[in-house]
Structure 1
Amino acid sequence: MSAPPVLRDVYRTLMERRGDAAASITFDDGPGPIARLDVFVYRPVDPSGLTTFVTVGMASAPMPAPEGGEGGRAELWLSRTGALAEPDERQIAMQLANLAVYPWKTGRAVSWAQIVGFEHDFPTFPGCPAVFLAGPLLTDTPDWLDTCEGKVRVITVVPITEQERAAAATMPPMTFAGNLIESRNVFTAPDPAGA
Structure 2
Amino acid sequence: MSAPPVLRDVFRNLMERRGDAAASITFDDGPGPVARLDVFVYRPAEPAGLTTFVTVGMSTGPMPAADGAEGADGADGAENTEGGRAELWLSRAGMLAPEDEQQIAMQLANLAVYPWKTGRAVSWAQIVGFEQDFPTFPGCSAVFLAGPLLADTPDFLDTCEGPVRVITVVPITQEERAAAATVPPMTFAGTLIESRNVFTAPSAAHT
Q: What is the TM-score normalised by the length of structure 1? A: 0.98
Instruction: Please provide the CA RMSD for this pair.
Output: 1.0
Cα deviation 1:106-125 (Å, max 9, x = unaligned)? 00000000000000000000
1:34 corresponding residue in structure 2: 34
User: Identity of aligned pairs, percent?
Assistant: 85
* 1:70 Cα offset (Å): 4.7
2:72 corresponding residue in structure 1: none
Asked if the contact 1:54/1:78 (under 8 Å) is kept, the reply is: yes
Is structure 2 residue 69 aligned with structure 1 residue 57? no
Is structure 2 residue 149 aligned with structure 1 residue 137? yes
Tell me, which stretches of 5 or more residues in structure 1 are unaligned?
none
Is structure 2 residue 103 aligned with structure 1 residue 91? yes
- Write the distance in 2 (CA, Å) between the matches of 1:128 and 1:194: 11
2:86 corresponding residue in structure 1: 74
- Write the distance in 1 (CA, Å) between the matches of 2:121 and 2:204: 32
- Write the distance in 2 (CA, Å) between the matches of 1:83 and 1:130: 22
2:74 corresponding residue in structure 1: none
- Write the distance in 2 (CA, Å) between the matches of 1:178 and 1:193: 18
Alignment of 1:93-132 (within 5 A): 93-132=105-144
* 1:151 Cα offset (Å): 0.2
Asked if the contact 1:75/1:155 (under 8 Å) is kept, the reply is: yes
- Write the distance in 2 (CA, Å) between the matches of 1:113 and 1:193: 24
Q: Which amino acid aligns with 2:164?
A: V
Q: Which amino acid aligns with 2:183?
A: M
Asked if the contact 1:128/1:162 (under 8 Å) is kept, the reply is: yes
Tell me, which stretches of 5 or more residues in structure 2 are unaligned?
69-80
Q: What is the TM-score normalised by the length of structure 2? A: 0.93
* 1:193 Cα offset (Å): 2.9
- Write the distance in 1 (CA, Å) between the matches of 2:7 and 2:170: 24
Partner of 2:110, secondary structure, is: helix
Instruction: Give the number of equivalent residue pairs.
Output: 195
2:44 corresponding residue in structure 1: 44
1:146 corresponding residue in structure 2: 158
